Amino acid sequence: MTPAELLDDHARRPRNVGKLLNASAVGDVGSIVVGDALRFYLSVDAAGKRIVQAKFQVFNCADQVAATSAMAELLLGMELDEAKTVGPLALTRHLGGLDPAALPPLLWGRVGLHAALAAYQGGESEHDQDLDPLLCRCFGVLDETVRQAVSTLGCTTPEEVVNATGAGTGCGSCRSDIPKIIDEMLHAPAAAPAAHAAPAGPKGRIQTLLRIQQVVQSKLMPEVRSAGGDLELWDFDGRVVKVRVKGGLVGDLPGRGAVLASLEQLLKSEIDAGLGVEDAP
């Protein structure tokens, strides 16, 4: 069975679907009020270290079924710390080298898993709500995503932000917050220049590069390192990020391709839809 056929098999005959009675933890994604939601269940062993069962339920979001089915299958017997690093790369490996483009851009199963792990361990979810707050809870749109739409994409009206990010297209309760963010971003007072400051460089490009470094380190590197690899940001011309894959992934062409594809998807969703990724020579 080819990787694509295996993914299709998960879609037609999903594993581990249904409610898990006496679950150790539950994580929710989306909103049943809006109509699209996913609930992820975990059962952890008595020692509190390993996942012994994982199940899920979906409500309308049929495009998430196959990937979540494969993820629930992959998690069985895995230690909790290892489960935190599971992402598109691990999932494509589990599916025999699947093209990452075949997966949904945002894996709701992963978000639900992290929510369940946070609930079980009594800690914070993947995003620190004080540092990276969630604006639209229906579709998981971050406050920072809206700010990037204003600063990077040039959105100046709530309608442009909604079209660019999808925020506010669910229950609509967050729409009242969008104008406040736009006003804050467009009318923030400029910082006074420091005495004898050096001439300003390409501020937009540098700020974008710093954001890229932050996103890669926090959201991709744990997964890459768990696979025995490493990643170095080599160059950035403002539109294309050139990277070098190192470690155990150097001779692993499917794994290398999965890393680059995961990185591009991450940058497009978190920073700028126009960004691309290339393998540095």
Q: Please tell me the predicted confidence (pLDDT) of residue 117.
A: 93
Residue 131: exposure state from Cβ atoms within 10 A (0-12, 13-18, ≥19): exposed
Q: Please tell me the predicted confidence (pLDDT) of residue 273.
A: 84
What is the DSSP secondary-structure string of 192-235? PPPTTPPPP--HHHHHHHHHHHHHHHHHTHHHHHHTTEEEEEEE
**Domains in the chain: ranges and CATH:** 3-121 (3.90.1010.10), 134-186 (1.10.10.1100), 203-279 (3.30.300.130)
pLDDT tens, position by position, 22-55: 899 999 887 655 557 899 999 999 999 999 999 9
Q: How does the average pLDDT of the chain come out, rounded?
A: 80
Q: What is the mean pLDDT of residues 191-210?
A: 50
Q: Above 80 in pLDDT, residue 67?
A: yes
Q: How confident is the model at residue 124 (pLDDT cuts 50, 70, 90)?
A: very low
CA 210 to each of CA 182, 203, 213, 214, 275: distance values in angstroms, whole numbers, following the listed order: 22, 11, 5, 6, 14
Q: What is the mean pLDDT of residues 64-88?
A: 93
Q: pTM for the full model?
A: 0.51
Instruction: Report d(CA 16, CA 73) in Å as an integer.
Output: 7
Alpha helix (H) residue ranges in the chain: 3-12, 65-75, 80-83, 88-94, 108-121, 143-151, 158-165, 178-186, 203-219, 221-226, 253-270
pLDDT tens, position by position, 128-186: 333 345 677 666 566 777 777 787 667 899 988 887 777 777 777 788 889 988 988 88
Q: Above 50 in pLDDT, residue 78?
A: yes
Q: DSSP assignment, residue 102?
A: G
Q: Name the nearest CA neighbour of 56 among 128, 118, 123, 115.
A: 115
Q: Please tell me the predicted confidence (pLDDT) of residue 65.
A: 94
